[in-house]
Structure 1
Amino acid sequence: MAEEPPAQMIVRHETSARLIDAWVNSKKAKADNRADRELAHAESKLNKKKVSLESKEKTIELNAEMNKQREIERIKNEEATSKKKFDERTVGIEAKREQNKHKIDHMAQKFRSTGTLPKKCFGFCSDD
């Protein structure tokens, strides 16, 4: 008959698991918040660029008809380039977010398998 582990060890293991889960949630929240801030910044830049280009487009419409079509085409190409850069930045940010989450999951799995705890932060301290 196998001897049951003492209640103290069970409580310690459950506490460790809760602390690791709190650490994982904290790290994932930080990764999400960082990615959301970067996405908001990139979107803000895109919106400012759109407003600026729309303003230029209205000015061009007041000019001669011949120049009008050529300038509008140039601005639309510039807007498309800005949109492409925004999309590339978004993909990069999302990839970084997933990479950070994967890294956190991997570290958490390592902590769980070895029974050790992270040396930093359990949801109530600040680290970068």
Structure 2
Amino acid sequence: MELLLCSRSSSLAKQASPILVDIYVIENLEFHGIRETALDRISKESDLCRLVLKDMAEEEPKKVETQTPSETPPPPPPPPAEPEAVVEAPKDVTEEKTVIPPPVAEEKAEESKAVAVVEKASESAEEKTEGSVNRDAVLARVETEKKISLIKAWEESEKSKAENKAHKKLSSIASWENSQKAAVEAELKKMEELLEKKRAEYVEKMKNKIAIIHKEAEEKKAIVEAKRREDLLKAEELSAKYRATGTSPKKLLGCF
């Protein structure tokens, strides 16, 4: 924007330079006819300069609005060709009239208006540039938030997938554990039943053996008891015989 203003000011200075040269020439001229011709030409050129400045002031906002921040400012238009000052042959005039000063104040007012228009256009362009920058920042922030939301959704999806996968694996492990435990418990129960059956059989067998031993012991006891009775009966018979005969037994204290 500063380059554009500098280029416009340089072009205005170049366009205004012929007028200043003509004024200087008029002040140094000594002949009435030449001064009148130069004054007419200066007035025409000043009107032309005002029209050019007015057109430039009207076209400047349009160019500033259409220009983007990334574009480089266009080169300044070439200055119009300076009209060559045609100096007529001096006439035989001895009178000298006062030189009419050109409308410098009006030119300065037009230039100030043009500069004000350019400044307003530059301010509007800066505001539009700031608006475009703010819009770009908002769009970038929206795009960033969109990416962040997509990443968050993807993360949640991946986490849910991982959770479901782990849950399925844990469920399969738990079912495998339960089935293995059930199989081992069934085998243990079967072995316990088998051992219980064998124990019962063994207990029965031992009881039978104990009964047989008890029976044999009873039989042996009966034999011993019968033998004792028989010996007692024999001793009583011998003692009765010895009493009847009056003899003494041959063996005394044989039992000792």
TM-score, scaled relative to structure 1: 0.49
- Which structure's relative contact order is higher, taking Cα pairs within 8 Å and 6+ residues apart? 1
Work out which of the two has the higher radius of gyration on C-alpha atoms and give 1 or 2: 2
